[in-house]
Structure 1
Amino acid sequence: MISVLFAVLTAISNGSASVLQRRAAATAPDSQSLSLALIGHLLRQRVWLAGIGLVIVAAVCQAVALATGPIAVVQPIFVIELPMTLLIASYVFRSALPRTAWYGVAAVTVGLAVGLGSAAPTGGSETVAGLSWVPALVITGIFEALLIAAARRTRKNARAALLGLAAACAYALTAALLKDAVARLEGGAGLTAFFTSWQLYATAVAGIGALFLLQNALQAGSLVASQPMLTLGDALISITYGVTLFGESVRTGWWLLPELLAVALITAGCLELARSPLAGGASPPKPRAR
């Protein structure tokens, strides 16, 4: 129960951060895409810095959630970050959500319930055994390289979608590394084992990489293109890490049918919600490159 609570808190923080970061990233020129100049531009935006503050809050909540629950349960809950963010924004700014947006909220909520109920993730170890990280990191690195290479050959929403999926993969990897690192706090060595584990520092590297990819995804195109890839990609890749690295189990066989239905509902809901003006943040036009 604690893991679910902190997963929900993580989703609220991450969703709010995505909207703030999208608003700031949309002001950057196309010439800064996939370069450190983009980060320099964003550091001068107060809205973006506020988003980073929420990212830090989300990281703390996520660590608690992963320390108390399976990754295959915690990460999929993050699909609610967009609907929860829109509901909060609607209340704060007194801007009523249209009926279609409420359909999107319902689709994501029902999809999550059906998906978790059908997959029923259980079991698993708290740490990753032996050298299992080696093939996982190699395969992840190749997958990320292919996505980034493909993104560089595209523009606008196609690039946003590819980079959104790349960011999702990096966030899923960050979660897996963080879970493995936090679990070492429970051992006899406690803090010593935690701060001397390579997983902790790999978590920082992966997290920075994920943040960089996300900013480029948000800068490249609309939230409609990047958000579904980010949301679903994070959930599905995290489940894969949970099963392959931590030995968690999910139901297969005929249970795949309601699981696929859940994915379809969540996808449709995210697409509808990402079209909302509240999700777009009323982004100003991008300046032209000089």
Structure 2
Amino acid sequence: MMVRVISVLFAVLTAISNGTASVLQRRAAATVPDSDVLHVSLIGKLLRQRVWLAGIGMVLVAAACQAVALATGPIAVVQPIFVIELPATLLLAGHLFQVRLGARIWTGVVAVTLGLALGMASAAPGGGTERAHGLTWLPVLVVTGLFEALVLGLALSTRGNPRAALLGLAAACGYALTAALMKDALAHLENGGGLAALFSSWQLYGTAVAGVGALFLLQNALQAGSLAASQPMLTLGDALISIVYGVVLFGEHLRTGWWLVPELAGAAVIAAGVAELARSPLAQGTVTRG
């Protein structure tokens, strides 16, 4: 029981850190022209902005918290909790900077909270193993690569908010893959192999590659359009794809059958709440002080 509490606590801390990073990075990425989309030059320009570097600092904090959360709990429990990242961050920002929180933010906070509670209670995720099963990684990586190629191809064929949404989905898949690889890598450390086993596992280096790729895709999503377009796809995509990885790779289980109805209802409520929050002046950087 205590282990599960630790996992949930660090998942919440991860969500707060990630949400803060998204808002900071959106402010920086909005100043970069469209011609830099999916080019390394985008990162070069962002590196010269302090607000973006502050966002990267929060990404590193989030990565440390996520490692603890995944080491102590199932991925199907940890990752869906990350949907609270935007409401938690906006509430914290409003308090720290003495910004008046309007009805839109409170509506979004309530919607995300209730949607998460409904979805988690209905799905009741749990079980599974610490390590991925056998050679399951091979087909998972192939399917993931094909999915990313399809989404990126669609993103390049459009512009504005549709591109931001698709790139947000691609980033979500990257972050979900990063979490799955991280969990599998940490299992080498926990199973008595020590640091030698951890650093000799390909999953550790896969975590680094997938994490950097996901971060790059996120910067492009934030640059391509509004937070309202990219954030719902990023938040829900990460949670849902992570659940799939948890079931396929680690044998975790969810309720099915008629339980799918309230689970989907919870996901819909979360999506509506995140979209409402992302459209708020506080998330977009245009705020009114109280």
TM-score with structure 1 length normalisation? 0.96
Matches within 5 A, 1:94-133: 94-133=98-137
Matches within 5 A, 1:30-179: 30-179=34-183
Which of residues 251, 273, 277 in structure 1 aligns to 2:255? 251
**1:22 and 1:281 in contact (8 A); partners too:** no
Q: Percent identity?
A: 73
Compute the displacement of 1:115 (Å): 0.5
Compute the displacement of 1:95 (Å): 1.1
Structure 2 unpaired stretches of 5+:
none
SS at match of 1:22: helix
Which of residues 27, 30, 50 in structure 1 aligns to 2:31? 27
Compute the displacement of 1:282 (Å): 4.0
**1:23 and 1:282 in contact (8 A); partners too:** no
Aligned CA RMSD, in angstroms, stands at 0.9
Per-residue CA deviation, residues 12-69 of structure 1 (Å, 9 max, x unaligned), is 0000000000000000011111100100000000000000000000000000000000
Cα distance in structure 2, aligned partners of 1:188 and 1:61: 22
**1:20 and 1:281 in contact (8 A); partners too:** no
**2:177 and 2:210 in contact (8 A); partners too:** yes
Q: Which residue of 1 aligns with 2:197?
A: 193
Structure 1 unpaired stretches of 5+:
284-290
One-letter code aligned to 1:273:
L
Compute the displacement of 1:164 (Å): 0.2
SS at match of 1:188: helix
SS at match of 1:73: helix
Aligned residues: 283
Per-residue CA deviation, residues 223-273 of structure 1 (Å, 9 max, x unaligned), is 000000000000000000000000000001110111011011101101100
Cα distance in structure 2, aligned partners of 1:72 and 1:111: 16
Per-residue CA deviation, residues 121-168 of structure 1 (Å, 9 max, x unaligned), is 010000112111000000000000000011000000000000000000
Cα distance in structure 2, aligned partners of 1:191 and 1:103: 46
Compute the displacement of 1:277 (Å): 1.4
Compute the displacement of 1:99 (Å): 1.2
One-letter code aligned to 2:55:
G
Cα distance in structure 2, aligned partners of 1:117 and 1:85: 24
Q: Which residue of 2 aligns with 1:227?
A: 231
SS at match of 1:34: coil
Compute the displacement of 1:93 (Å): 1.5
